[in-house]
Amino acid sequence: MDSSQLLGITTFTYLFASFLYIGALLFRSTKVGVFATWFTAAALVIQTAGLGLRWMESYQMGIGHAPLTNMYESVVFFAWTIVIIYLGIEWKFKTRTIGAFALPLAFLAMAYGSFAPINKGISPLVPALQSNWLLAHVITCFVGYAAFAIAAALGIMYLIKSYFGKDTGNEDGSLLPSLKVLDDIIHKSMIFGFIWLSAGIITGAIWANSAWGTYWSWDPKETWSLITWFVYAITLHARYTRGISGKTIAWLSLIGLLAVIFTYYGVNFLLSGLHSYGSN
């Protein structure tokens, strides 16, 4: 069995886990929720094995490098980080209903990687990627992106409950966590993502200096990374200084995710620059 088969299994396991989480939410079934968690954990183990095997396959081809260098590998890693962060939130806050909104994001990322017409092969690294800063830059950025995706999923939950539900102050008698809990996790997810995105921009600047002789060149991806950073910086600043919360921060979490998607995906295909290799 090769890495592509393991990652294909992961895609459908995340889909099944998403259905289980949605079922647990709609039918308020604790047992189904437990099964959903176990299936998610199993899928994560399979995906981790798939990533590790793909890494080994690159060495067997004589071009050994981490599986983080093209669009296919990046979306797989993106899904992997979403699931890890989600499981951490589930463990920390003892609520599985969030999985009904978070796991579909991981499935969609894997489905895009599996079915989109993008290069899924293992290719030699271009000179700009042959750096020890590759892992540091990509990992920090994608952990930040995943945290922002989780924040947006929570934002959708908040808006659904605030517009259509009734807040009981706890989870008893309610499909979703209380608005207070959702607001708190959105805020913490944004802080977590902001820290990692900041680290990603810093490591990227160091990498750029070693590859191209300059820390900042206003490449389209660099520019949009900075725009995304400011979106979240302004949001968090307003939270601390103005006390914004509730629907406002929920909507801002969605706006922030749109900036992340364009930075990660849109720039690669719509704007040419030093990061255009990411679309290969």
Of 7, 14, 10, whose CA–CA distance to 36 is shortest? 14
- Of the three residues 75, 98, 120, the one that is the final residue of a domain is 120
Q: Are residues 97 and 170 in the same domain?
A: no
Count of domains for the chain: 2
Q: Which pLDDT belongs to residue 15?
A: 97
Q: Which pLDDT belongs to residue 265?
A: 83
Q: Are residues 179 and 59 in the same domain?
A: no
Q: Are residues 179 and 280 in the same domain?
A: yes
Alpha helix positions (H), 61-164: 71-93, 99-115, 133-164
Q: Are residues 19 and 36 in the same domain?
A: yes
Q: Are residues 7 and 64 in the same domain?
A: yes
Structural domain boundaries, residue 10: 1-120
Tens of pLDDT along 208-246? 888 778 888 888 888 899 999 999 999 999 999 999 999
For the record, the structure tokens of 249 come out as 């921060």
Q: Are residues 154 and 233 in the same domain?
A: yes
d(CA 25, CA 34): 12
**Tally of CB atoms within 10 A around 130:** 11
Decide: 231 and 255 in contact? Cβ < 8 Å: yes
Measured between alpha carbons, how far is residue 183 from residues 25, 152, 165, 250, 267 in Å? 19, 11, 15, 8, 30
Q: Are residues 95 and 116 in the same domain?
A: yes
Q: Are residues 137 and 108 in the same domain?
A: no
Q: Are residues 15 and 81 in the same domain?
A: yes
Q: Hey, what amino acid is at 36?
A: A
Q: Are residues 162 and 274 in the same domain?
A: yes
Q: Are residues 82 and 153 in the same domain?
A: no
Share of the chain above pLDDT 90, in %: 64
**The CATH number of the domain where 70 resides is what?**
1.20.120
Spans of the chain, pLDDT less than 70: 128, 166-174, 271-280
Q: Which pLDDT belongs to residue 167?
A: 61
